[in-house]
Structure 1
Protein backbone atom coordinates (compact mmCIF):
# COMPACT_ATOMS: atom_id res chain seq x y z
CA UNK A 1 0.00 0.00 0.00
CA UNK A 2 1.88 2.98 -1.25
CA UNK A 3 1.02 6.47 -0.14
CA UNK A 4 -0.02 5.31 3.34
CA UNK A 5 -0.21 8.20 5.82
CA UNK A 6 -0.17 10.87 3.18
CA UNK A 7 -3.84 11.77 3.40
CA UNK A 8 -5.03 13.32 0.17
CA UNK A 9 -1.57 13.79 -1.25
CA UNK A 10 -0.93 17.12 0.45
CA UNK A 11 2.34 17.34 2.34
CA UNK A 12 2.64 19.58 5.41
CA UNK A 13 3.95 22.44 3.28
CA UNK A 14 0.95 22.17 0.97
CA UNK A 15 -1.43 22.14 3.94
CA UNK A 16 0.06 25.41 5.20
CA UNK A 17 -0.25 26.93 1.71
CA UNK A 18 -3.85 25.76 1.52
CA UNK A 19 -4.63 27.16 4.99
CA UNK A 20 -3.05 30.48 3.98
CA UNK A 21 -5.12 30.50 0.79
CA UNK A 22 -8.34 29.88 2.74
CA UNK A 23 -7.42 32.71 5.11
CA UNK A 24 -6.85 35.01 2.14
CA UNK A 25 -10.16 33.90 0.59
CA UNK A 26 -11.94 34.73 3.85
CA UNK A 27 -10.36 38.19 3.82
CA UNK A 28 -11.53 38.64 0.23
CA UNK A 29 -15.06 37.62 1.23
CA UNK A 30 -15.09 40.18 4.05
CA UNK A 31 -13.69 42.79 1.66
CA UNK A 32 -16.41 41.93 -0.86
CA UNK A 33 -19.11 42.72 1.72
CA UNK A 34 -17.49 46.09 2.41
CA UNK A 35 -17.09 46.73 -1.33
CA UNK A 36 -20.80 45.99 -1.90
CA UNK A 37 -21.70 48.61 0.73
CA UNK A 38 -19.35 51.13 -0.88
CA UNK A 39 -20.80 50.48 -4.34
CA UNK A 40 -24.33 51.02 -3.01
CA UNK A 41 -23.32 54.46 -1.65
CA UNK A 42 -21.38 55.50 -4.75
CA UNK A 43 -22.89 57.74 -7.44
CA UNK A 44 -21.69 57.37 -11.01
CA UNK A 45 -22.77 59.88 -13.63
CA UNK A 46 -23.37 59.00 -17.26
CA UNK A 47 -23.68 61.92 -19.63
CA UNK A 48 -24.86 62.72 -23.13
CA UNK A 49 -24.26 65.82 -25.23
CA UNK A 50 -21.81 67.48 -22.80
CA UNK A 51 -24.05 67.03 -19.76
CA UNK A 52 -27.33 68.02 -21.41
CA UNK A 53 -28.62 64.72 -20.01
CA UNK A 54 -27.21 63.02 -16.92
CA UNK A 55 -28.11 59.57 -15.63
CA UNK A 56 -26.95 58.80 -12.11
CA UNK A 57 -26.56 55.20 -10.93
CA UNK A 58 -25.00 53.58 -7.88
CA UNK A 59 -21.74 51.67 -8.17
CA UNK A 60 -23.74 48.46 -8.49
CA UNK A 61 -25.84 49.95 -11.32
CA UNK A 62 -28.98 50.77 -9.35
CA UNK A 63 -30.71 53.74 -11.07
CA UNK A 64 -30.80 56.84 -8.86
CA UNK A 65 -32.06 59.72 -10.99
CA UNK A 66 -32.07 61.39 -14.39
CA UNK A 67 -31.22 65.07 -14.82
CA UNK A 68 -32.53 66.74 -17.97
CA UNK A 69 -31.34 70.22 -18.89
CA UNK A 70 -34.10 72.65 -19.96
CA UNK A 71 -32.19 73.03 -23.24
CA UNK A 72 -32.65 69.31 -23.88
CA UNK A 73 -36.43 69.69 -23.83
CA UNK A 74 -36.24 71.89 -26.94
CA UNK A 75 -34.69 69.05 -28.95
CA UNK A 76 -37.92 67.07 -29.24
CA UNK A 77 -39.01 63.72 -27.86
CA UNK A 78 -37.08 61.55 -30.33
CA UNK A 79 -33.73 63.29 -29.77
CA UNK A 80 -34.37 63.48 -26.02
CA UNK A 81 -35.05 59.73 -25.90
CA UNK A 82 -31.82 59.05 -27.80
CA UNK A 83 -29.81 61.28 -25.45
CA UNK A 84 -31.21 59.55 -22.36
CA UNK A 85 -30.24 56.19 -23.85
CA UNK A 86 -26.68 57.41 -24.53
CA UNK A 87 -26.39 58.70 -20.95
CA UNK A 88 -27.73 55.40 -19.58
CA UNK A 89 -25.14 53.42 -21.55
CA UNK A 90 -22.40 55.77 -20.36
CA UNK A 91 -23.45 55.33 -16.71
CA UNK A 92 -23.66 51.55 -17.15
CA UNK A 93 -20.21 51.33 -18.75
CA UNK A 94 -18.63 53.52 -16.06
CA UNK A 95 -20.24 51.56 -13.22
CA UNK A 96 -19.22 48.23 -14.76
CA UNK A 97 -15.62 49.41 -15.16
CA UNK A 98 -15.56 50.73 -11.59
CA UNK A 99 -16.95 47.45 -10.22
CA UNK A 100 -14.42 45.41 -12.23
CA UNK A 101 -11.47 47.55 -11.08
CA UNK A 102 -12.52 47.36 -7.44
CA UNK A 103 -12.98 43.56 -7.61
CA UNK A 104 -9.55 43.14 -9.23
CA UNK A 105 -8.01 45.25 -6.45
CA UNK A 106 -9.79 43.09 -3.88
CA UNK A 107 -8.87 39.70 -5.36
CA UNK A 108 -5.39 40.58 -6.63
CA UNK A 109 -2.81 38.01 -5.61
CA UNK A 110 -5.36 35.38 -4.61
CA UNK A 111 -3.78 32.08 -5.54
CA UNK A 112 -5.05 28.69 -4.47
CA UNK A 113 -2.10 26.27 -4.39
CA UNK A 114 -2.50 22.89 -6.00
CA UNK A 115 -5.91 23.72 -7.48
Structure 2
Protein backbone atom coordinates (compact mmCIF):
# COMPACT_ATOMS: atom_id res chain seq x y z
CA UNK A 1 0.00 0.00 0.00
CA UNK A 2 1.29 3.39 -0.85
CA UNK A 3 1.01 6.21 1.62
CA UNK A 4 -2.41 7.89 1.87
CA UNK A 5 -4.41 5.21 0.10
CA UNK A 6 -5.66 3.36 3.17
CA UNK A 7 -8.08 0.63 2.16
CA UNK A 8 -9.01 2.25 -1.11
CA UNK A 9 -11.90 4.28 0.36
CA UNK A 10 -11.89 7.96 -0.27
CA UNK A 11 -14.00 10.32 1.82
CA UNK A 12 -16.54 10.36 -1.00
CA UNK A 13 -16.81 6.59 -0.92
CA UNK A 14 -17.24 6.62 2.86
CA UNK A 15 -20.04 9.16 2.50
CA UNK A 16 -21.75 6.94 -0.11
CA UNK A 17 -21.38 3.94 2.19
CA UNK A 18 -22.82 5.88 5.13
CA UNK A 19 -25.78 6.99 2.99
CA UNK A 20 -26.35 3.43 1.84
CA UNK A 21 -26.46 2.26 5.47
CA UNK A 22 -28.92 5.03 6.34
CA UNK A 23 -31.17 4.05 3.43
CA UNK A 24 -30.98 0.39 4.42
CA UNK A 25 -31.98 1.30 7.98
CA UNK A 26 -34.91 3.37 6.67
CA UNK A 27 -36.04 0.45 4.50
CA UNK A 28 -35.77 -1.92 7.47
CA UNK A 29 -37.87 0.39 9.64
CA UNK A 30 -40.35 0.88 6.81
CA UNK A 31 -40.55 -2.88 6.25
CA UNK A 32 -41.44 -3.46 9.88
CA UNK A 33 -44.19 -0.83 9.70
CA UNK A 34 -45.41 -2.26 6.38
CA UNK A 35 -45.57 -5.76 7.90
CA UNK A 36 -47.81 -4.40 10.67
CA UNK A 37 -50.02 -2.56 8.14
CA UNK A 38 -50.36 -5.64 5.94
CA UNK A 39 -51.37 -7.69 8.96
CA UNK A 40 -54.25 -5.28 9.62
CA UNK A 41 -55.49 -5.19 6.00
CA UNK A 42 -58.34 -7.26 4.68
CA UNK A 43 -58.02 -8.22 1.03
CA UNK A 44 -60.93 -9.87 -0.69
CA UNK A 45 -61.21 -12.35 -3.50
CA UNK A 46 -64.51 -13.23 -5.16
CA UNK A 47 -66.03 -15.82 -7.41
CA UNK A 48 -69.43 -16.38 -8.95
CA UNK A 49 -70.21 -12.68 -9.06
CA UNK A 50 -69.79 -12.37 -5.30
CA UNK A 51 -71.52 -15.64 -4.35
CA UNK A 52 -68.30 -16.65 -2.58
CA UNK A 53 -65.79 -14.31 -0.97
CA UNK A 54 -62.47 -15.15 0.64
CA UNK A 55 -60.82 -12.57 2.86
CA UNK A 56 -57.08 -12.66 3.61
CA UNK A 57 -54.85 -10.33 5.53
CA UNK A 58 -52.27 -8.38 3.55
CA UNK A 59 -49.82 -11.04 4.76
CA UNK A 60 -51.99 -13.72 3.15
CA UNK A 61 -53.30 -15.11 6.41
CA UNK A 62 -56.85 -16.48 5.99
CA UNK A 63 -59.45 -14.38 7.79
CA UNK A 64 -62.81 -15.74 6.66
CA UNK A 65 -64.90 -17.19 3.87
CA UNK A 66 -68.36 -15.87 3.06
CA UNK A 67 -70.71 -18.11 1.09
CA UNK A 68 -74.05 -16.79 -0.12
CA UNK A 69 -77.06 -18.99 0.58
CA UNK A 70 -77.71 -18.80 -3.17
CA UNK A 71 -74.43 -20.64 -3.79
CA UNK A 72 -75.35 -23.47 -1.44
CA UNK A 73 -78.22 -24.50 -3.69
CA UNK A 74 -75.73 -25.19 -6.49
CA UNK A 75 -74.26 -28.24 -4.78
CA UNK A 76 -70.98 -29.11 -3.10
CA UNK A 77 -68.92 -29.40 -6.30
CA UNK A 78 -69.90 -25.92 -7.50
CA UNK A 79 -69.32 -24.39 -4.04
CA UNK A 80 -65.90 -26.05 -3.89
CA UNK A 81 -64.96 -24.62 -7.30
CA UNK A 82 -66.21 -21.16 -6.28
CA UNK A 83 -64.23 -21.25 -3.02
CA UNK A 84 -61.08 -22.29 -4.89
CA UNK A 85 -61.54 -19.52 -7.46
CA UNK A 86 -62.16 -16.94 -4.73
CA UNK A 87 -59.03 -18.11 -2.87
CA UNK A 88 -56.95 -17.66 -6.03
CA UNK A 89 -58.43 -14.20 -6.56
CA UNK A 90 -57.71 -13.19 -2.96
CA UNK A 91 -54.15 -14.53 -3.23
CA UNK A 92 -53.54 -12.61 -6.47
CA UNK A 93 -54.97 -9.41 -4.95
CA UNK A 94 -52.85 -9.86 -1.82
CA UNK A 95 -49.67 -10.52 -3.81
CA UNK A 96 -50.27 -7.45 -5.96
CA UNK A 97 -50.85 -5.31 -2.86
CA UNK A 98 -47.67 -6.57 -1.21
CA UNK A 99 -45.65 -5.91 -4.38
CA UNK A 100 -47.04 -2.38 -4.76
CA UNK A 101 -46.34 -1.53 -1.13
CA UNK A 102 -42.78 -2.89 -1.31
CA UNK A 103 -42.13 -0.87 -4.47
CA UNK A 104 -43.36 2.24 -2.65
CA UNK A 105 -41.05 1.44 0.25
CA UNK A 106 -37.94 0.75 -1.81
CA UNK A 107 -38.63 3.09 -4.74
CA UNK A 108 -35.60 4.97 -5.92
CA UNK A 109 -33.13 3.18 -3.68
CA UNK A 110 -31.67 0.95 -6.41
CA UNK A 111 -31.29 -1.97 -4.02
CA UNK A 112 -30.06 -5.18 -5.62
CA UNK A 113 -32.68 -7.91 -5.69
CA UNK A 114 -35.60 -5.57 -5.00
Q: TM-score, normalised by structure 2?
A: 0.92
Q: How far 1:6 moved relative to its partner?
A: 2.5
Look up the match of 2:24: 25
Paired residue secondary structure (1:59): coil
Give 5+ residue unaligned stretches, structure 2: none
Give 5+ residue unaligned stretches, structure 1: none
Higher relative contact order, structure no. (Cα contacts within 8 Å, ≥ 6 residues apart): 1
Stretches of 4+ aligned residues off by more than 4 angstroms: none
Question: 2: distance between equivalents of 1:82 and 1:111?
Answer: 42
Question: 2: distance between equivalents of 1:31 and 1:60?
Answer: 15
Q: CA RMSD in A?
A: 1.2
Question: 2: distance between equivalents of 1:75 and 1:17?
Answer: 63
